[in-house]
Amino acid sequence: MDTPRPKLSKPPAELEILTRLDLYFSVRHTARTFRMFGEIFDHDYDKVAIFLSVAEVCFQSAFHLAPIENSPVDIERVYSEVATSGLSIMTIGEITGIPRETVRRKVKSLVDDKHLAANTDTNTIYLPASVVISQRFLPIFNSHLADAAQFVKAVKFYHKPD
């Protein structure tokens, strides 16, 4: 005997709008990211996926582990101290779904081109601070911030607190 599924109530209109906005900005942001980084990496999207996976982990480490201080912080120094944790070749392969040998070759190329760096003590790959602040990558990261700011403005516009 089939168990009847409970009826789901319709979400409030504001939530529907926010969900659509979130989906739209997420897809737009992903597409723009792959286009921008694709140009840097000669449209080698395995390299793009590897680079972005390593960048995500390094940024996450920097933002979660960096001390919160009231005084101005040297972001480059803090990032350099905590973002070198990185990922192993095997973990990059698991995250991206790219075969390990392909990851190894692509990472070697990214390290040789100084887009990523290798920590020989821990056998991990990380995004060096020099890449984050370079004139080649900084405009792309600024574009991401502009997209996020646009999303926040849209959320504020559609979400009126009670």
pLDDT in tens, 94-121: 999 999 999 999 999 999 999 999 988 8
pLDDT value at residue 86: 82
Band (90; pLDDT cuts 50, 70, 90): very high
Q: Are 116 and 54 in contact (CB under 8 A)?
A: yes
Question: Rounded to two decimals, what is the model's pTM?
Answer: 0.73
pLDDT in tens, 106-160: 999 999 999 999 988 888 999 888 888 888 888 888 887 777 777 777 777 766 6
* Phi and psi at residue 4, to the nearest 5°: -65, 140
pLDDT value at residue 162: 55
Domain spans, the chain: 14-155
CA 30, CA 85: separation in Å to the nearest integer? 25
Residue 127 tokens, joined: 């995004």
Q: Are 93 and 103 in contact (CB under 8 A)?
A: yes
